[in-house]
Amino acid sequence: MTVLRVTGGRVSVEDSVSITRAMTGEHLREAYLQDVSKLTLGLVRIRGTSVFVGPIEVLRFGLPNVTRNSVSWPIEGGLAAGSPGGRWRIEANDGRVVATVEDYRPRLPLPLYAISQLLIHHLVIRLHLLRLHGREPEPGIPASRDDRLRAAAVDIAFCATLAGFTGRRRKLHVLLGITAAYHVACWSSSGRTLGGMVMRQRVVAIDGSEPSIGQSVVRLFALPIAWALRRPVHDEAAGTEVIVD
């Protein structure tokens, strides 16, 4: 679940997923510090209390405040911050883990912030929260590998047919574009592609919710690796699972 509020140029953003086990504030702090680099493939790193992209300090936090079930950092500056103020907080309570940015003033104009920094934040934090949730318990009965392949065959045939209707001679780029848009739209709206409906299966986030657009994009880009390795690494990367509908 995602909530966004803007008041006087300051942004408050909340992302949350369900959890089935208690988590301490110390665990939440350590997990976040470890996941940032992993989820961004090393592009983003935390050194001390600052977040760096390469050599650039994009955000600078104060010292963390760790409680029994939460951790929070005051926001003190950095290239991405328009001014000091606000805080970054992760809390586990009542069966949910909630990540909140409160009263943060981005340096970018709000329209640019919404289509750049905010999108990246949502993707990385949702994947982090789903990693905290873990893949157990499973969100449903996993679809068999054979049924997943049959569904994929239906989807490929459907996308090839749509590409054929364009009437262009060079259809590979058209087919790739249609395939990408079709899968991202279907996965992030209902979890069901045409092949999924035929085979009675759908894609869900590992907490049982619908995948976000960002998760769907990650899943799509990791799909060729999954085909090469014959292992669902695309679901591992995107925090998703294919279940019987």
pTM, to two decimals: 0.93
Radius of gyration for the alpha carbons in the chain, expressed in angstroms and rounded: 20
Q: What is the pLDDT of residues 8-52, one digit of tens each?
A: 999 999 999 999 999 999 999 999 999 999 999 999 999 999 999
Using CA of residue 150, residue 154, residue 159, residue 164, what is the dihedral sign? positive
What's the rounded Cα separation, in Å, for the pair 54 and 50? 12
**Domains delineated in the chain:** 2-133 (3.30.530), 145-244 (no CATH)
- What are the tokens at 87? 């805080």
Confidence label for 4 from pLDDT (cuts 50, 70 and 90): confident
Cβ atoms of 195 and 158 closer than 8 Å: yes
- The string of DSSP letters for 157-223 reads HHHHHHHHTT--S--HHHHHHHHHHHHHHHHHHTS--HHHHHTTEEEEETTSSPPPHHHHHHHHHHH
Cβ atoms of 17 and 2 closer than 8 Å: no
Using CA of residue 28, residue 33, residue 34, residue 39, what is the dihedral sign? positive
Residue 125: pLDDT above 90? yes
